[in-house]
Amino acid sequence: MKNIRCKNYQIHINNWIELTSFLHHEDPSSVFIIVDENTEKYCLHLVLEHLDIPVQVIRIPSGEQNKNLTTCQHIWTNLMRYGADRHSLVINLGGGVIGDLGGFCAATYMRGIRFIQVPTTLLSQADASVGGKLGIDLMGFKNMVGLIQDPAAVFIFTEFLSTLPVDQVKSGYAELLKHGLIADKDAWKKLTEHTDVKILDFEQLIFESLNIKKKVTEQDPNEKGLRKILNFGHTIGHAVESYWMDSRTPLLHGEAVAIGMVSEAFLSYRIGKISESELFDIRKSIIKLYGHHPKFVKHSDEIIGLMKADKKNQKGEFRFSLLESVGQACYDITVDKEAVEESFMFYKERME
């Protein structure tokens, strides 16, 4: 059991008693749990076992393709149909999609009702459930509509991870690696020593990762400056993810971010921040876990085209968050198209 105290709320790790007593203390007029078909099957019964109050379940279809306005409308309509009022509480039981979308629906329904995050994937437990970013995708672009608002609390239960497919665990692990690379060299080293990510002490790893995210987001909740370092690996990663999204071989978010981190480590080297041996070490460690897939950066013009839609870029320039050193990051670094192309070449190179 672990606990992290954030400015406006608490994160409880592996503590069912806290969940029960939180609900008693909040005393909501009604409780709604948002699930998808997977969290309904694997996670809902565990939560219901620990609740002694009536709840209304709202089901949505899983997947990023449903993180949209149609699904919001379904949630809002059901909240209304089942009489949710301003004293109701929403429990988001799922991965980052449910956390972002369910949080967005709760934060806007009747101008905002309380919600808690009960994340069920490694990605959402170690990253998405904290920092208050909520939202949905629009016209194929990620997180175009949303807001920043904290939940009333976050309850993490690592037992949910036992049903999570291994590729999803690896996808979430990329965010742990990112937190290490940008803020904690020792954590990065420790994380790269593991080869089997399915059997780890997740309670401790999630605890360490969330502390990094909390420290950064509390200093800059609205991403005016420092918070941008959390985007390391994501400028290229998001573009690669978007490019392959509707193909026959889509990438999971963390798989795309893994490619993004190798490429953006190259950019950090190219502007003189990290050494060649550090760069090679990062590439080797990431490729050991995620494999080497040159085909995913083959269509560099199209991928770079997609980067232009990134919210972080301004006036047609690419602005990156890069590594200052291993365990430290910098942000708002302007990089030109040629350097991005070189970074793809570097990713594509065969390693000896």
Contacts to ligand NAD by CB under 6 A: 36, 38-39, 42-43, 62-64, 67, 94-98, 100, 120-121, 123-124, 127-128, 131, 133, 142-143, 160, 163-164, 168, 171, 253
CB 322 within 8 A of CB 264: yes
Q: Which of 253, 255, 264, 283 is catalytic?
A: 253
CB 68 within 8 A of CB 137: yes
For this structure, is 64 an active site residue? no
Place of tokens 């040629």: 338
Closest residue to bound ligand NAD by CB: 96
Q: Which of 5, 25, 45, 111 is catalytic?
A: 111
146 closest CA partner among 37, 34, 222, 246: 222
Task: For residues 10 and 2, give the distance between their C-alpha atoms in angstroms, rounded to a whole number.
Answer: 11
Shortest distance, CB of residue 124 to ligand NAD, whole angstroms? Answer: 4
Shortest distance, CB of residue 117 to ligand NAD, whole angstroms? Answer: 9
Task: For residues 41 and 123, give the distance between their C-alpha atoms in angstroms, rounded to a whole number.
Answer: 19
Token code pair at residue 141: 């672009």
For this structure, is 175 an active site residue? yes
Q: Which of 170, 227, 228, 273 is catalytic?
A: 227
Q: Which of 142, 179, 234, 283 is catalytic?
A: 234
Sign of CA dihedral 205, 206, 207, 211: positive
For this structure, is 253 an active site residue? yes
For this structure, is 18 an active site residue? no
For this structure, is 67 an active site residue? no
Q: Which of 231, 255, 264, 283 is catalytic?
A: 231
Task: For residues 331 and 313, give the distance between their C-alpha atoms in angstroms, rounded to a whole number.
Answer: 12
Range list of H helices, 227-336: 234-244, 253-270, 276-290, 300-307
For this structure, is 223 an active site residue? yes
Shortest distance, CB of residue 163 to ligand NAD, whole angstroms? Answer: 4
For this structure, is 231 an active site residue? yes
Task: For residues 83 and 81, give the distance between their C-alpha atoms in angstroms, rounded to a whole number.
Answer: 6
Shortest distance, CB of residue 193 to ligand NAD, whole angstroms? Answer: 24
Cβ closer to ligand NAD: 36 or 208?
36
For this structure, is 293 an active site residue? no
Task: For residues 6 and 215, give the distance between their C-alpha atoms in angstroms, rounded to a whole number.
Answer: 9
Shortest distance, CB of residue 284 to ligand NAD, whole angstroms? Answer: 25
| Active site residues per annotation | 111, 133, 175, 213, 223, 227, 231, 234, 238, 253
